[in-house]
Structure 1
Amino acid sequence: MDDGITRTAGSLAHQLGPLRRAVLRASRSAADLPDIPEAQIEVMRSLAATGESAPSDLADTLGLARSTISNLLSQMQGARLIERHLVAGDGRRTSVGLTPLAETRLRAFDESAAHILAAALRDLSPGDVATIAAALPALERLQHRIVGG
């Protein structure tokens, strides 16, 4: 790996976590949302995109261990964010889906995050905004490259 790519990778790794956590904290605060862990938000986002899902499929989609998903779903069920349903014709398998409360909280979180990011972008120079906008497709491809192998 050449030094430029190594430096870029290191800088990107260093910036992503703090940026993600800052947006998360600011969004929760601005929308007056409870402290929903990031992992639960990712579960809610996945379920919002796919509808109901088997816990094993959710684990595969999110790249998490089945025991981790099981723990997350138990916590989320206790917080009234998901509902479990028996799969028709199979009394042993369950699927999970979002509750209306979870849908409302996820929508509030996403709207808050968009407002927080828009306000921050407005404070940047037009050149910085253009650079970030131009980088978005490349960041999406980077994510797919990492997830896809």
Structure 2
Amino acid sequence: MRDTESTGDGKFGGEAARVAVALGGLLGPLRRAVLRATRSAEGLPDLPEAQIELLRALASSPEGLSPGAVAARLRVAPSTVSNLVRTMSGARLVERVRPEHDQRSVVLTASRESLDLLERYDRASTAALTRVVEELPDADRVALNGALPALDRLVAALQAAHGADNGTTA
């Protein structure tokens, strides 16, 4: 039986399943710990992760993105983008621009304030992680460094495996 096949009791067995369960259990706490450390180090606002993801998408496209393009890039429903934009526009983090050539459409851009905020998040996150990683034993630092390419491949494999999910996950 392969690692990804189900055992008779309905649970996944093997080393791959054990790694998947352990990784799944660590990702949420790791993400939350990094965000907490980042926010407290710089006194940054408590932006939800979804808003940070939207800002990253807009920051990577200075010319702006349509709401549909944002939904596709983030793989979320258009209504999710609409709700995020409504909240973030009110906080002056996202700007809605109507192109001169098509007044019916809207392009979303990150405000200067949000780009500065995102830069502060990145700087504080890097500093917080660097401090903690420097305090780890050498063997842990080597293991983390060695795991980075595998984690990158894992992200790519997950994106490829779920590329046909029609962009409506929340």
TM-score per shorter chain, which class? Answer: over 0.9
Residue of structure 2 in register with 1:39 after alignment: 50
Q: Percent identity?
A: 40
Q: 2:26 aligns with which of 3, 9, 15?
A: 15
Residue of structure 2 in register with 1:105 after alignment: 117
TM-score (norm 2): 0.85
- Which residues in structure 2 correspond to 1:3-82 (within 5 Å)? 3-51=14-62, 52-82=64-94
Corresponding residue SS for 2:60: helix
Give the C-alpha shift of residue 82 in structure 1.
0.9
Corresponding residue SS for 1:50: coil
Which amino acid in structure 2 is aligned with residue 112 of structure 1? A
Which amino acid in structure 1 is aligned with residue 79 of structure 2? S
Residue of structure 1 in register with 2:136 after alignment: 124
Equivalent-residue separation in structure 1 for 2:137 and 2:94 (angstroms): 42
Moved over 3 A (4+): none
Equivalent-residue separation in structure 2 for 1:20 and 1:141 (angstroms): 19
Structure 1 residue 143 and structure 2 residue 143: aligned? no
TM-score (norm 1): 0.97
Equivalent-residue separation in structure 1 for 2:124 and 2:158 (angstroms): 28
Query: Structure 1: which 5+ runs fail to align?
Result: none
Equivalent-residue separation in structure 2 for 1:14 and 1:132 (angstroms): 17
Provide the alpha-carbon RMSD of the alignment. Answer: 0.9
Larger Rg: 2
Give the C-alpha shift of residue 70 in structure 1.
0.4
Question: How many residues are matched?
Answer: 149
